[in-house]
Structure 1
Amino acid sequence: MELIIKNLDKKYGNGVHALNNVNLTIKTGMFGLLGPNGAGKSSLMRTLATLQDADSGSVMLGDIDVLNNKEAVRKVLGYLPQEFGVYPRTSAVDLMDNLALLKGFENKTDRKEMIEQLLVKVNLWDHRKNAVASYSGGMRQRFGIAQCLIGNPKLVIVDEPTAGLDPGERNRFYNILSEIGENTIVILSTHIVQDVRELCTQMAIVDKGTVLFSGNTDDALLEVKDKVWEKKVSKLELPKYQENYEVISNKLVGGQPLIHVFSNQSLEGFAKAEENLEDVFFAKLNQLV
C-alpha cells in the first residue's frame, strides 16, 4: 500500500501558508518527516489524520480518498498527536476498551483479547489497572502507541513522539516503532534528526510548508558528501567565521564551538567532517544544496 500526496495546499486565515504544493509518495515502512518547529509538519499530519481540511490537492491511501472519505480513513488510521489528553482516573485497560468500542469493536471477548495483546506489546500489561494520568512520560507515549494500533491500522502517524523521554524510554519507543513499520506505513514527524537517522530509510525535509527533499536517507547524505568541513574555534572568533564562511551549524564541544562549514572545496585549517543528516538538514534549510 502507498500513501500518495499530490499538490496539497493549506493557508490559514492569518496568512500562514502551512502547506505549499506538497508532493510525497510514502510506502510501507518508517518514513521520517523532518523540519524545524513551524515548518508545517503538524499541519500535514493533521490533514492526513482527517482533523483539518486542505484548500486543494489530493491524498490517496491505497484506494481511499483521504480528503473526501474521512470515515474510511479513520477505520484504518492510528494517530499519536504531540500531546493527548486522558481521563484523570481511568485505567489503561478501561480507556483502551472505550477507544476500541469507539472504533467499532463491539464483541467484548475480541476487545479483551486485542487489548491484552496490545498492552503486552508495549510492556504495560502489568500496569493495566493504573490510571494513565499517573504514568511517566515514556509510559504514556507507549500507551499512545497501543491505542494507535487498535484495529491493526494501515497508516500510523506519530507527531514529535520522543520529546522529553529519557534515553531508556526513547530506545524502547524506537523498538516499538520499528516493529510496527515492518508491515504498516508509519509517518514519524519530528525536528530531532537522530530519530530519523536511527529509524527511517525514507524521509522528507520540510520548511515553511515546502518539501525541500524527499527520498532515501542514504541519498540525502550523498548531497553533502565531501562538502562539509569542521573546525574548533574560540567563542570570540565565531562571529568572524560566520561572516566569512557558510557556517551551517555550531555546537559547544568541551566548552569550545565546533563549527560545520559548507564548501565545495577543501578549506585550509579545516578537517573534512563525516556527513550526517544534521548537515543535510541545515544545508537544505540554508538552500545550499
Structure 2
Amino acid sequence: MSVRLFRLGIIIGFIFTPPKKSKHMILSIQNLKKQYGNGVHALKNVSLEIKTGMFGLLGPNGAGKSSLMRTLATLQEADSGEAILGDIDVLKDKDKVRRVLGYLPQEFGVYPRTSAVELLHHLAILKGFDEKKKRAEMVDYLLQKVNLFEHRKKAVSSYSGGMRQRFGIAQCLIGNPKLVIVDEPTAGLDPGERNRFYNILSEIGEQTIVILSTHIVQDVRELCNDMAIMDEGEVLYSGTTDDALALIRDKVFAKKVNKEELTQYQQDYRVISNKLVGGKPQIHVFSESPLNSGFAKAEETLEDVFFAKLNQLI
C-alpha cells in the first residue's frame, strides 16, 4: 500500500451512518501562521469563518491554499493560531478531527490491480469497520452515490481521471464526515466529468462543510456561495461571491487593442487582465468612472475580482 494512500486513509471517518440533516457547523480559523524551514511564510495570520455549505478557496499556485488544507487535515503543524470545528480544536485534537474529516488531495495512490469495491473495503477495515454486513452496505452505498457501482469490479488504476476523482470522493465520505476538503479536484477533467463532479460536491455541501481549494475561478462561481481569495499566504478577500462581484460592478471596461499597444495601455490604465480574443488582446480595465476611447462596459465576473485583488486594484 502506498504511503500516500495510507495517509489519505488515516483521515477518513471512523463511523458510517446514512446521511442525515446535520446541525449547523462552523469552522473558525483565527490568525493561523506557518513558516517552512526554507523561510517561506506559507500562512500569514489567516483568519476565516466557514459554515455548512460549499466554500471556495481561490488563489494562484503558491498562494498558501494547500498549506492551509494540509494544516486543517492534520497533515502538518501550524506555528501559531487556532482552528475550531464545532467544539473540536483542530490543531490539538487531531484524532477527533480525523473521525469527522474527509480529505481528497490533488493526487492519491492506488493499488495497481485492486478494484474499487476491494479498495473501499480495505480502507474501511483500516478505519475499524469490522462488521462485514455493515461495511458491505456502506461500500455499496458510496459506490452508488458517486455513480461507480457498475464499475466497482474494475481496477481503480484503470479509471479515467473523472472516475478516479469520484472514487476519491467515495473515500472522503466513509464515516459521513462533517468537514470535507478537496484540493484542486477538477484539474485535467473533461467538461462532462467536471459537471458530474460538481453535482456530487453540491449534494455533499447541502449538509457538510466542503472546502474547495482551486485556482479555477469557474469552479467557485458555479459551486460556492462563500469564498476567499489567497495570495502569498494572506487572505485578500473573504465573503460571498455576490459581494465580491459587487466590488467591481459597473467599474470594469473592455477593449480590443493591438499587441504593440498593450504595454502603453498597461502604463496608462489600471489593467485587470488581458487575454487573446480572436487572436487580438482584449484588456479589462478597472475604473471608478466611465471610459471612452473605444472602451465598452463589461459584465463583472469573478475572474475580474480575482485578478483585481491579486493586482491590488481593489
Sort the TM-score into its range (normalised by shorter chain): over 0.9
Give the structure 1 partner of residue 234 of structure 2. Answer: 210
Give the structure 2 partner of residue 119 of structure 1. Answer: 143
Give the structure 2 partner of residue 267 of structure 1. Answer: 291
| Secondary structure at 1:237 match in 2 | helix
Matched, 1:192 2:216: yes
Give the structure 1 partner of residue 196 of structure 2. Answer: 172
Superposed, 1:212-251 pairs within 5 Å as 212-251=236-275
Partner residue of 1:22 out of 46, 51, 56:
46
Q: Which moved more, 1:239-248 or 1:139-148?
A: 239-248
| Secondary structure at 2:236 match in 1 | strand
- Cα deviation, residue 130, structure 1: 0.8
Partner residue of 2:87 out of 63, 68, 85:
63
CA distance in 2, matches of 1:153, 1:101: 17
| Secondary structure at 1:68 match in 2 | coil
Residue 113 of structure 1 aligns with an amino acid whose one-letter code is: E
- Cα deviation, residue 213, structure 1: 0.5
Partner residue of 1:148 out of 150, 162, 172:
172
Matched, 1:287 2:312: yes
CA distance in 1, matches of 2:245, 2:126: 43
Task: Give the conservation status (yes or no) of the 8 Å contact 2:57–2:230.
Answer: yes
> Alpha-carbon deviations, 1:183-226, whole Å to 9, x = none?
00000000000000000000000000000000111000011111
Residue 312 of structure 2 aligns with an amino acid whose one-letter code is: Q
Give the structure 2 partner of residue 36 of structure 1. Answer: 60
CA distance in 2, matches of 1:103, 1:228: 51
Partner residue of 1:72 out of 88, 93, 96:
96
Residue 270 of structure 1 aligns with an amino acid whose one-letter code is: F
Q: Which moved more, 1:48-57 or 1:257-266?
A: 257-266
Matched, 1:181 2:226: no
Residue 283 of structure 1 aligns with an amino acid whose one-letter code is: A
Q: Provide TM-score, normalisation by structure 1.
A: 0.99
Give the structure 2 partner of residue 276 of structure 1. Answer: 301
Matched, 1:50 2:43: no
Partner residue of 1:83 out of 107, 119, 124:
107
CA distance in 1, matches of 2:30, 2:261: 46
Residue 209 of structure 1 aligns with an amino acid whose one-letter code is: G
- Cα deviation, residue 286, structure 1: 1.1
Residue 310 of structure 2 aligns with an amino acid whose one-letter code is: L
Q: Provide TM-score, normalisation by structure 2.
A: 0.91
Residue 88 of structure 1 aligns with an amino acid whose one-letter code is: P
Residue 35 of structure 1 aligns with an amino acid whose one-letter code is: G
- Cα deviation, residue 246, structure 1: 1.3
| Unmatched segments (≥5 aa) in structure 2 | 1-24
Task: Give the conservation status (yes or no) of the 8 Å contact 2:272–2:313.
Answer: no
Q: Which moved more, 1:257-266 or 1:165-174?
A: 257-266
CA distance in 1, matches of 2:34, 2:131: 40
CA distance in 2, matches of 1:206, 1:133: 33
Give the structure 1 partner of residue 33 of structure 2. Answer: 9
CA distance in 2, matches of 1:104, 1:148: 15
- Cα deviation, residue 245, structure 1: 1.2
- Cα deviation, residue 104, structure 1: 2.0
What is the aligned residue count?
Answer: 289
User: Percent sequence identity over matched residues?
Assistant: 78
| Unmatched segments (≥5 aa) in structure 1 | none
Give me the CA root mean square deviation.
Answer: 0.7
Task: Give the conservation status (yes or no) of the 8 Å contact 1:75–1:103.
Answer: no
